[in-house]
Structure 1
Amino acid sequence: MSSIYPERPGRHQRESAQPSAEASNPDDAYQDDGHQDSAYQQNAHPDGARQEESAHPIFARAELPTRRVRGASKRVRRRRRSLIFLVVIAFVVAVSYFAFQAVQPMLTANTAKDYPGPGHGSVTFIVPAGATGRTVAAGLVQDGVVQSESAFLDALQAVSGGALIQPGTFGLKLEMKASDAVSVLLAPDNNKVHYAAIDQNLREPEVLALLAKSTGIAESEFTTLAKTPATFGLPAAARSLEGYLKPGEYRFPLEMTAQQILAQLVQATKDTLVKDGVTDPKDQYRVLTIASIIEFEGNEANYAMISGAIENRLNNPNAETGGRLESDATVAYGLGLKTYNITDAQKNDASNPYNTFANPGLPVGPIGSPKAKAIDAAAHPQVNPYYFWVTVNLTTGETLYATTYAEHLTNVAKYQAWCDANAGKCK
């Protein structure tokens, strides 16, 4: 044992000396005492341990798996961190995308939706009393004047600080730039008008109510004036202004009074009558009465034909008609109703001055406001052999004519069949 250790080279000696032939085989170097050699290998000097670590291949191979495990663990951790990072980035991107989609309409609504202007066509726009900027904006969008409420409200805020728009009627265009529309609506009063659209078939109370709403003038003023038709140059037979309030679109200056407005409508009707060659006030009243019946009994396609049948009943009565017009529309007017269904009791009530079943000839006056084409047809009836007519399709206005009552009943059956097939339309 002692003869072996002194012969072992020191640390520096081992590092610098070249290995001998005898030491080239570790087994040969320690063959004297296998036990002590084994003990030395297990409890080697640190320097010796480093020597064996670098020289003996078995120690290098023993540490290699540990390094690989550590390297693999690092790669796994790096991959795991990379995966987590990518997941976080994807989540942030997704959240940002959906947030942008939610906010984008609010960011672009005020700038993206505005017509370039200057617009086209014409639109008459009414601003009622008490209207707010938002209600005006909604109305302008609905009428196709501006593209978006927000564009209009922004323009209004920029010009007037969001002040209320004064009520009135304004002439605008389709597809205007919002700022241009604001300029018109905020224009001085002398550029504003009251707008009123009077439809055909409206009765006097309906027209007066519409005028009051359009102008802001009390309805009572119009009603009181209508009770004195002589004030407007109407014949003594006229009970009111019924029939003389011509349908159409009107733009009244703001300073016009109720009397001036009614006078304008009456004059428009007289001008139409004169244009059709009817100049005498009594004849005008008669033509207007017939025209108002035609308006309710038919449509433009058959105005002239119905007018001819009325003239046959009035001027060439036969045994079946006895000079009676027998119009449901006149009876309904006298009853204050709007209906196609008149009962036998109502038809037999002669106390109704508008009952043309019980009373021969024309009713005591017009039953509505006829338009120009109806007046023209009443003034120029189409000659025909018919005494009866009935509209058998209230949707298309198809009207059938007959010379005898028996033929008329056949046509009436067709009307009743249409009513049965179209529930609720023959009220």
Structure 2
Amino acid sequence: MSHLSHGRTEDTSTGSLDAIPGFGPDDEDSRPRDRRARPPRRVRRRRTVVVLAAVALVTAAIVVLTTTLVLPFMARFQTPDYPGPGQGSAIVTVAQGDTNQEIGATLVQQGVVESTKAFNEALQKESGGKFIQPGQYQLKKEMKASDALAAMLDTKTSAVHYAAINQNLRQSDVFTILAKATSIPVAQFQALAKNPGQFGLPAKAPSLEGYLHPGEYRFALNAKPKDIIAQMVARTKKTLTDAGITDPNEQYRMLTIASIIEAEAGEADYGKVSGAIYNRLGPDNKETSGRLDSDATVSYGLGRRSYQISDQEKQDASNKYNTFANPGLPVGPIGSPGAKSIAAAKHPEKVPYFYWVTVNLDTGETKYAVTLEQHQRNVDEYTAWCGAHPGKCD
């Protein structure tokens, strides 16, 4: 008995709470409750990544919506206006009686301001009761509307007399353009032309012909006629100097040749026609005995622009520009040549020709010849072309 009892006592004493269900260390119920509710660290990191990705997607969506919907919608209520300060150059003409709306439209058309609305808003805010005066204004393209307005109100810095002079225009044509651009009477320019020496021209120059350089001009509003002519003559002299022609008498000679080249040929033929002219001016020229035989020079001396010249007119040696009756160059230039024809006069092409004729006035096709017989066939081609195109050869 005692043995069995002792055995039971050992069983009971050696047993512990760990052996009782619900009290062992491996039972999850034995862990604190808050620790049991926390997920593993790996799960927490996964959740953080998901949240950050969601935030990024929402942010991207907001940016896309703002860019594609909100900003364009808001832009509809903003006035289109360039940021400035602008670039390039634009000459804007304001005519007498132009309204602010018309001025704004002109500025938009010439690319100076982006919208008439921006210009009108600038007028309302910043004009200070001033009005834009009729005239021509030198502005930039893509200006801020308020800057364009400020420039036009400040006539001392932006208002100009603008004149565009084409190549080979005669002196009389240039004076007409200058008078229209500046409102200075033509007679004042004509009076200056009677004394070309005051502008540094050679004594043999009968007028300013040839020295009124082609190009775009922006004269100050208070410019005097003499200042205007001096500026044009200075540009001509600079072009000659840049071409390596510095002697005044040689400059005059080059201008004369260049003006004939421009009157007789298109730009593509400047070099060849120049070479043919030099062949005619050469001391060994037996083909034409030193005569240029230029219709353009005779026509200039007659005060006409037609190339229909009679035989009697070609024989009139009293016309100092008649290169049929008088050998060598005419008394002076017959127009205002540009830089390219001056360069051709300075550097003629070496050609064997003595004759040239433009056989198609539409395309400018020019044919050359060494002998008069060859030249006459080319002239016949020109005559046939004129017959097929009435009025174009007058």
Same fold (TM over 0.5): yes
What do you get for the CA RMSD once the two structures are aligned?
2.8
The alignment of Structure 1 onto Structure 2 pairs a total of residues equal to 317
Give the aligned partner of residue 274 of structure 2.
Answer: 307
Is residue 246 of structure 1 aligned with residue 213 of structure 2?
yes
Checking the alignment, whether the CA contact within 8 Å between 1:329 and 1:340 is kept in structure 2 is yes
| Superposed CA offset, 1:127-179 (max 9, x none) | 45665546645644554545676775665466448864224432234465655
Q: Distance in 2 between matches of 1:153 and 1:319?
A: 72
Q: What SS does structure 1 have at the residue aligned with 2:325?
A: coil
Is residue 394 of structure 1 aligned with residue 372 of structure 2?
no
Q: TM-score, normalised by structure 1?
A: 0.66
Give the aligned partner of residue 226 of structure 1.
Answer: 193
Checking the alignment, whether the CA contact within 8 Å between 2:82 and 2:113 is kept in structure 1 is no
Equivalent residue for 1:367, pick from 321, 325, 334: 334
Summarize the Cα distance change of 1:423–1:163 in structure 2 as closer, same or farther, 3 Å threshold: farther
Give the aligned partner of residue 56 of structure 2.
Answer: none
- After TM superposition, give the deviation of residue 384 of structure 1 in Å: 1.1
Could you tell me which amino acid in structure 2 is paired with residue 270 of structure 1?
K
Q: Distance in 2 between matches of 1:166 and 1:153?
A: 16
Q: Distance in 1 between matches of 2:235 and 2:120?
A: 39
Give the aligned partner of residue 27 of structure 1.
Answer: none
Q: Distance in 2 between matches of 1:164 and 1:343?
A: 58
Give the aligned partner of residue 321 of structure 1.
Answer: 288
| Superposed CA offset, 1:213-245 (max 9, x none) | 223333322221111001011111101110001
Checking the alignment, whether the CA contact within 8 Å between 2:194 and 2:207 is kept in structure 1 is yes
Give the aligned partner of residue 171 of structure 1.
Answer: 138
Q: Distance in 1 between matches of 2:80 and 2:314?
A: 59
Summarize the Cα distance change of 1:396–1:138 in structure 2 as closer, same or farther, 3 Å threshold: farther
Q: What SS does structure 1 have at the residue aligned with 2:342?
A: helix
Percent identical residues: 58
Give the aligned partner of residue 270 of structure 1.
Answer: 237
Q: Distance in 2 between matches of 1:132 and 1:335?
A: 47
Checking the alignment, whether the CA contact within 8 Å between 2:130 and 2:153 is kept in structure 1 is no
Checking the alignment, whether the CA contact within 8 Å between 2:138 and 2:158 is kept in structure 1 is no
Q: Distance in 2 between matches of 1:290 and 1:153?
A: 53
Give the aligned partner of residue 236 of structure 1.
Answer: 203
Summarize the Cα distance change of 1:336–1:154 in structure 2 as closer, same or farther, 3 Å threshold: farther
Equivalent residue for 1:350, pick from 312, 317, 321: 317
Q: Distance in 1 between matches of 2:215 and 2:350?
A: 29
Give the aligned partner of residue 181 of structure 2.
Answer: 214
Give the aligned partner of residue 297 of structure 2.
Answer: 330
Checking the alignment, whether the CA contact within 8 Å between 2:81 and 2:113 is kept in structure 1 is yes
| Superposed CA offset, 1:5-63 (max 9, x none) | xxxxxxxxxxxxxxxxxxxxxxxxxxxxxxxxxxxxxxxxxxxxxxxxxxxxxxxxxxx
Summarize the Cα distance change of 1:305–1:356 in structure 2 as closer, same or farther, 3 Å threshold: same
> Which shifted more, 231-240 or 191-200?
191-200
Q: TM-score, normalised by structure 2?
A: 0.72
| Superposed CA offset, 1:162-207 (max 9, x none) | 8642244322344656555433322341333332221101111111
Summarize the Cα distance change of 1:274–1:422 in structure 2 as closer, same or farther, 3 Å threshold: same
Q: Distance in 2 between matches of 1:338 and 1:150?
A: 49
- After TM superposition, give the deviation of residue 293 of structure 1 in Å: 0.5
- After TM superposition, give the deviation of residue 409 of structure 1 in Å: 1.3
Unmatched segments (≥5 aa) in structure 1: 1-110
Q: Distance in 2 between matches of 1:140 and 1:328?
A: 45
> Is the radius of gyration larger for structure 1 or structure 2?
1
Q: Distance in 2 between matches of 1:242 and 1:376?
A: 18
- After TM superposition, give the deviation of residue 278 of structure 1 in Å: 1.7
Checking the alignment, whether the CA contact within 8 Å between 2:240 and 2:246 is kept in structure 1 is yes
- After TM superposition, give the deviation of residue 340 of structure 1 in Å: 2.9
Is residue 422 of structure 1 aligned with residue 389 of structure 2?
yes
Q: Distance in 1 between matches of 2:138 and 2:368?
A: 45
Give the aligned partner of residue 380 of structure 1.
Answer: 347
- After TM superposition, give the deviation of residue 247 of structure 1 in Å: 0.7
- After TM superposition, give the deviation of residue 252 of structure 1 in Å: 2.4
Counterparts of residues 65-214 of structure 1 (less than 5 Å): 116=82, 118=84, 121-127=88-94, 133=100, 136-137=103-104, 139-140=106-107, 143-145=110-112, 156=123, 159-160=126-127, 164-174=131-141, 179-214=146-181
Q: Distance in 1 between matches of 2:267 and 2:87?
A: 30
> Which shifted more, 409-418 or 198-207?
409-418
- After TM superposition, give the deviation of residue 258 of structure 1 in Å: 1.6
Summarize the Cα distance change of 1:344–1:380 in structure 2 as closer, same or farther, 3 Å threshold: same
Q: What SS does structure 2 have at the residue aligned with 1:386?
A: coil
Q: Distance in 2 between matches of 1:326 and 1:334?
A: 13
Checking the alignment, whether the CA contact within 8 Å between 1:132 and 1:165 is kept in structure 2 is no
| Superposed CA offset, 1:61-87 (max 9, x none) | xxxxxxxxxxxxxxxxxxxxxxxxxxx
Q: Distance in 2 between matches of 1:425 and 1:392?
A: 12
- After TM superposition, give the deviation of residue 297 of structure 1 in Å: 0.7
